[in-house]
Structure 1
């Protein structure tokens, strides 16, 4: 059973990271060209995808992750507790990305320039999580 849950977890993580990167790149486009009509079309498509695919993938990541962690007896492992920090940060960033895109589309509020670094932040955070999960250094 563990391997099935692990496969589901990995699939959900890949789906989540892909969706977050698409959202981050659409925000970069919105920063570069906020008044273009295609930004609105792209943004609406990305938000639909986020609601149908990325957000459910995020929920699956958390449920499958906790299922594996407690099923394998890693509940109090230091590496797992440390892994929770960047995982929570990624979850928060996902929420902020969605909020920024919704505000842009609904209220016309410009996207904050800090979102330019979101793709790099997503990849770096994911690399830390993957390293902790695979190496289990503590």
Structure 2
């Protein structure tokens, strides 16, 4: 059963990261868009995808991850506790990206330039998580 849950977890992680990168790309387009360029269609499409695919994938990542952790008796492992830091960061970033895109579409609020770094932050956090999960260094 563990291998099935692990496969589901990995699939959900790939889906989550792809969706977060799509959201980050939409925000970068909104930042770089010249005045008068309408980014609503892209933003609405990404938000629709986020609601139907990315957010459920995030829920599956957490549920499957906790199921594996407790099933394998890793709940007190230092590598797993450290892995939680970038995992929580990605969850928070996902929420902030979604709120920012919604505010842009609904209220026309500009996107802060810090979102230019979102794709790099996503890749970096994911790399740390993958390394800790595979290597289990401590």
TM-score for both structures, normalised by structure 1: 0.98
Match of 2:27 in 1: 27
* Inter-partner Cα distance in structure 1 for 2:121 and 2:37: 26
Long gaps (5+) in structure 2: none
* Inter-partner Cα distance in structure 2 for 1:20 and 1:137: 27
* Inter-partner Cα distance in structure 2 for 1:58 and 1:99: 16
* Inter-partner Cα distance in structure 2 for 1:82 and 1:98: 26
* Inter-partner Cα distance in structure 2 for 1:5 and 1:71: 10
* Inter-partner Cα distance in structure 2 for 1:112 and 1:133: 32
* Inter-partner Cα distance in structure 1 for 2:72 and 2:93: 28
Q: CA deviation at 1:36?
A: 1.3
Q: Count residues in correspondence.
A: 137
* Inter-partner Cα distance in structure 2 for 1:81 and 1:125: 14
What do you get for the CA RMSD once the two structures are aligned?
Answer: 0.7
Equivalent runs, 1:14-53 vs 2, <5 Å: 14-33=14-33, 35-37=36-38, 39-53=39-53
Matched, 1:68 2:68: yes
* Inter-partner Cα distance in structure 1 for 2:108 and 2:36: 9
Match of 1:57 in 2: 57
Long gaps (5+) in structure 1: none
Point out 4+ residue stretches in structure 1 off by more than 6 angstroms: none
* Inter-partner Cα distance in structure 1 for 2:40 and 2:122: 23
Question: What secondary structure does 1:94 align onto?
Answer: helix
Question: What secondary structure does 2:36 align onto?
Answer: coil
Q: CA deviation at 1:35?
A: 3.5
